[in-house]
Structure 1
Amino acid sequence: MISVLLPAGAQAQMPAEIDQVLAEVENGTLAGSRENGVLVFRGVPYAAAPTGELRWRAPQPVAEWPGVRAASAHEPPCVQPVDTDSTVANFGGVNGAQSEDCLYLTIYAPEGVRDAPVMVWFHGGAFFLGAGHLGSYDGTANARQGVITVGVNYRLGALANFVHPVLEAGREGEPQGNYALHDSVAALQWVRDNIAAFGGNPENVTIAGQSAGGGIVTNLLSLPAAEGLFDKAIVQSGSLLLPDRAPVEASRIAREALETIGIGLDASADDLRNISAQTFAASKELRAGFFFTSDPKWKPSSTVAALRAGKEFDVPILVGANQGEGGFAAARTFAELAGDEGAPAFLYRFEHVPAFREAEWTKGPIHSAELMFAFDSIDQSSWGGAKADTDDRAVALQVNSCWVAFAKLVPGSRTIECADGFTWQPYLKGETARFTTSGPEMADGREYPDGPSKD
């Protein structure tokens, strides 16, 4: 027997013992942990690694695993540009290692529940940054109020949105491009098939996202493959009411971008798959990918076209933006189009500026400022912590109560009943929930500017 001597003080540096909890899913047994009164499962695979021959293909099923699979630590996020100093996060909040093998979930769940509502969260990051497990997205507060939160990693950049003619060979009829959306559908299918193992109700699923994640949610609202996989939707600062890009145009842009790294027009599919994932992330021309592309069978319509035609999925929508960013006009248009008939739409403008940010945010809260309030994750967010005061914490409790109440909405509900008696009315003639330092109020948002003043 080999004896290992630990240096003095090393025992104190070891992580605390995990309070283990097991869950049986379709592919095997997961071992998560009890933390702060909720159950947490990290690094849960929802699709096979999209590597090798599976790069630029729709996600494939996860193979069954033997024994008990640990789900107590996060797997690396999807490949993206990061700072060479691994202690410095990029603009998506990510630092350190990443991997092309990244299709994983993080689950926060109450213990001992059945048929709990579920919120599936798609992170922001301009479609080429970010991860679903960051501190701002901590689902502990949601779980303590009976709502399961599932954070999703989806493919990023050129590994997510890429179309090239050589990839079509031998794949006639297989969808091309839109792999981040394919991943999102696969995650929702996993939730449908497995969330009951965590006490969740697959018939009460809210899809939610911010910025690029809001763009994911926007697109899911008209995607045939996503029909029936969710019941409500939240779009935070991500009302991307834009037409899809034609595949021919996306392919042209991709081929021109490849030439900047020395890949010519005669490249084969194998050549493209032999390009390292980090090379894509490091290339300024390739790193962001080439947006969503139309596909006659798989993505026949953009959501803005579906909304204007009244053909989007008729589910309740919660949508809005922050005072100190652009995008409120698009959110208002979203609410008008989605709430014109059938299920209600709820519009908000987030206006609270923390005291410790007043010198910087002189025109209102900036992009992403609402996240630690919507999740009530001040102490887990890199934006909050000890700097937050009692006003910040009160606003977080209030905003989070509305998001939780929306996730709990029963079919046919026409208002959101938040904490402290605040009733959020649906958008019909400008009805907008303002989240201010002094508390929420309903106002007429039809004349609100799109964003901060230019002076």
Structure 2
Amino acid sequence: MIRLLRSASAAVGLACLGSACAGASDSGHVLVEAPAGPVRGVTQDGLEIFKGIPFAAPPVGEARWAPPTAMPAWDEAYDATEFGPGCMQPGWVSQSIYTDTLPRLSEDCLNLNIWAPAEASGAPVVVWIHGGALVRGANSLSLYDGASYAERGVVFVSINYRLGVLGYLAHPELSAESPDGVSGNYGLLDQIAALEWVEDNIAAFGGDPQNVTIAGESAGALSVTYLMASPLARGLFDKAIAQSAYTISTPSLSEAAFGAPAAETAGVALAEALGAEDVADLRAMDAETLVDAAGRAGYLASGTVDGLVLPDQIVSIFDRGEQAPVPVIAGFNEGEIRSLRRLMPPPPADEEAYEAAIRRGYGELAETALAHYPPSDIEESMLATTRDAMYGWSAERLARDQSEIGQAAYYYYYHHGYPAAEEMGLHAFHASELPYMFDNLDRLSEHWPAPPDTPDEAALADAMTDYWVSFARDGHPAAEGQPAWPPYSENEAYMLFDDAPRGGRTDLLPGMFELHEAVMCRRRAADIGWHWNVGVIAPPLPAPVADCS
């Protein structure tokens, strides 16, 4: 590893790649000689920060809808002092708490950022995968600033990956182009390419390539489970953190499955809806026009079970113990659906109609479902049903599955509220843990309900970040002066994050996991999808089968 601090005069003559170099100052810069080529970043408050480093060649032209390819090594110093562009995505149709100012967007977006302690060597590495339903988001959003991790001794990396139709389209012509006969999953392949780049290069920035933790929230956490299931990602990471993952049924490449059309069929239908006769027509479309048109046509981005990148349904891979054998942190938030009400159906007219709908959908499991989600408070029961079926069950299943293959698994429940969120009816809403586990309470968008600037809020943020950093360092989450966090295997233990971390708790929401596991298991056997089709819109429960209650 070679590091050189350069003043303005010492850096004269350094060249760089791309438009990010224009007007950059050389004062307080650091030059790292990496295998990919020399990279110039900035020094700030004892940290070394590198932004917008390309980890794969631009996926443009004929490379649109192709697996990522490695960037040729560069000889002149790459200027990594400004964030790179985000990946193409639709604009915000309406304002929400998640509305944020996006960076410049481009198809040439496969870049990553690094925050590292100055002069680090052999430090643990965290690779952050942003959320956004596989459709939105960027590694440069201020909420994802990695300085708090670097200040605690971690080399923190945030990555971009292709989104929406550009990241996940499957089509028979694309499959025919592939030597493996598959298509789709390009965004996931981008994530794998980023991890390969980290493995090859991160030591030059002070990180340990043998101690890499992948982490993500929402679609980022879904991506974490995809990576755990993909043979192509095996060995590229050593621990995993999945915050509000949703392990829903996934389309198959060339045949209808679980109520969804084949991914290739969906791709053909989209092309027809956009007036494209073939993939060449799709490639000829302007990227912004294509992305916006796909959104209007109702295209839903998803991974694809293709037998190669994703060999099978995620739950089936985990059932067989074929997932990555790594320690995990997994958890979810009490109010996941309060900010995602579009996932809920309209409520029934009254308690009688609610109960009748539950009985139609859950059959002999209806009494159990009604005990968990009673008609006495229809709104709260519907919020909890969708939350548990998507996020709660997924988190506990991940903790159980890793425990069953002998890996340490740490389970959490985020239940923290504060005045600005409570006033909006958003107690512990989806993603509300992010400012705390990043220790970035002051780096929120203008629409995000702001936590109060109090010592208690700061203490919770410090504690959560310390737990996450400790896990990245040695696989065990711990924070000085805070409760011990035992693994899930100890009586289904979990950590409650409320006004403060609260340990010593077991068996979160008793019976919740078993109910939704039974429903998923029966639906899988009957070729019915499992996602947000729960509660009052649940299809009739299939009959019991072997290994399903």
Using the size of structure 1 for normalisation, the TM-score is: 0.88
Change (3 A) 1:163 1:286: farther
Give the superposition deviation at 1:217: 0.4
Change (3 A) 1:394 1:16: farther
> Which amino acid letter does the alignment assign opposite residue 310 of structure 1?
G
Give the superposition deviation at 1:287: 7.0
Match of 1:339 among 376, 400, 403: 403
Task: Tell me the matched-pair count.
Answer: 429
Is contact 1:247–1:293 with CA below 8 Å preserved after alignment? no
Q: How does 1:288-367 map to 2 (within 5 A)?
A: 288-325=299-336, 326=387, 327-361=391-425, 364-367=427-430
- More displaced, 123-132 or 278-287? 278-287
Q: How does 1:275-290 map to 2 (within 5 A)?
A: 275-283=285-293, 284-285=295-296, 288-290=299-301
Matched, 1:379 2:442: yes
Is contact 1:43–1:73 with CA below 8 Å preserved after alignment? yes
Match of 1:407 among 454, 466, 472: 472
Aligned-CA RMSD value: 2.5
C-alpha distance in structure 1 between counterparts of 2:219 and 2:301, whole Å:
13
Post-superposition Cα deviations, 1:272-305, rounded to whole Å, max 9, x if no partner, equal 2101211222122557544111222333123211
Give 5+ residue unaligned stretches, structure 1. 1-13
> Which amino acid letter does the alignment assign opposite residue 258 of structure 1?
A
SS in 2 for 1:221: helix
> Which amino acid letter does the alignment assign opposite residue 367 of structure 1?
H
1:391 maps to which residue? 456
C-alpha distance in structure 2 between counterparts of 1:385 and 1:54, whole Å:
42
C-alpha distance in structure 2 between counterparts of 1:341 and 1:165, whole Å:
37
1:3 maps to which residue? none
Q: How does 1:36-75 map to 2 (within 5 A)?
A: 36-75=45-84
Change (3 A) 1:84 1:176: closer
Match of 1:232 among 234, 239, 242: 239
Give the superposition deviation at 1:417: 2.2
- More displaced, 40-49 or 424-433? 424-433
1:131 maps to which residue? 138
2:230 maps to which residue? 223
Q: How does 1:2-81 map to 2 (within 5 A)?
A: 18-81=27-90
Change (3 A) 1:329 1:172: closer
> Which amino acid letter does the alignment assign opposite residue 253 of structure 1?
A
Give the superposition deviation at 1:401: 0.7
2:499 maps to which residue? 437
Post-superposition Cα deviations, 1:329-367, rounded to whole Å, max 9, x if no partner, equal 2211221122123111110011111233221245x3100
Change (3 A) 1:346 1:288: farther
- More displaced, 217-226 or 327-336? 327-336
C-alpha distance in structure 2 between counterparts of 1:109 and 1:195, whole Å:
10
Give the superposition deviation at 1:395: 0.7
C-alpha distance in structure 1 between counterparts of 2:99 and 2:188, whole Å:
19
1:4 maps to which residue? none
Match of 2:271 among 258, 275, 281: 258
Is contact 1:137–1:375 with CA below 8 Å preserved after alignment? yes
Is contact 2:86–2:102 with CA below 8 Å preserved after alignment? no
Give the superposition deviation at 1:241: 4.6
Give the superposition deviation at 1:430: 2.1
2:526 maps to which residue? none
Match of 1:166 among 163, 173, 195: 173
Change (3 A) 1:387 1:422: closer
Is contact 2:64–2:283 with CA below 8 Å preserved after alignment? yes
Is contact 1:136–1:372 with CA below 8 Å preserved after alignment? yes
Q: Whose helix fraction is larger, Structure 1's or Structure 2's? A: 2
Change (3 A) 1:194 1:316: same
2:479 maps to which residue? 418
Post-superposition Cα deviations, 1:160-180, rounded to whole Å, max 9, x if no partner, equal 111111223443325421001
Q: How does 1:165-184 map to 2 (within 5 A)?
A: 165-173=172-180, 175-184=182-191
> Which amino acid letter does the alignment assign opposite residue 424 of structure 2?
E
Change (3 A) 1:170 1:56: closer
Is contact 1:141–1:376 with CA below 8 Å preserved after alignment? yes
Work out which of the two has the higher radius of gyration on C-alpha atoms and give 1 or 2.
2
1:272 maps to which residue? 282
2:102 maps to which residue? 95
Give the superposition deviation at 1:268: 2.9
C-alpha distance in structure 1 between counterparts of 2:401 and 2:112, whole Å:
32
Is contact 1:254–1:286 with CA below 8 Å preserved after alignment? no
C-alpha distance in structure 2 between counterparts of 1:130 and 1:287, whole Å:
19
Is contact 2:196–2:236 with CA below 8 Å preserved after alignment? yes
Change (3 A) 1:150 1:132: same
Using the size of structure 2 for normalisation, the TM-score is: 0.74
C-alpha distance in structure 2 between counterparts of 1:16 and 1:381, whole Å:
27
Give the superposition deviation at 1:146: 0.6
SS in 1 for 2:168: coil
Change (3 A) 1:375 1:24: same
- More displaced, 44-53 or 271-280? 271-280
SS in 1 for 2:87: coil
C-alpha distance in structure 1 between counterparts of 2:135 and 2:412, whole Å:
27
C-alpha distance in structure 2 between counterparts of 1:287 and 1:210, whole Å:
23
> Which amino acid letter does the alignment assign opposite residue 200 of structure 2?
D
Is contact 1:162–1:289 with CA below 8 Å preserved after alignment? no
Matched, 1:212 2:219: yes
Give the superposition deviation at 1:245: 2.7
Is contact 2:125–2:211 with CA below 8 Å preserved after alignment? yes
2:15 maps to which residue? none
SS in 2 for 1:53: helix
C-alpha distance in structure 2 between counterparts of 1:150 and 1:92, whole Å:
23
C-alpha distance in structure 2 between counterparts of 1:19 and 1:335, whole Å:
44
Change (3 A) 1:215 1:438: closer
> Which amino acid letter does the alignment assign opposite residue 61 of structure 1?
A
Task: Percent identity, please.
Answer: 34
1:198 maps to which residue? 205
- More displaced, 306-315 or 286-295? 286-295
> Which amino acid letter does the alignment assign opposite residue 147 of structure 1?
V
Change (3 A) 1:36 1:42: same
- More displaced, 388-397 or 225-234? 388-397
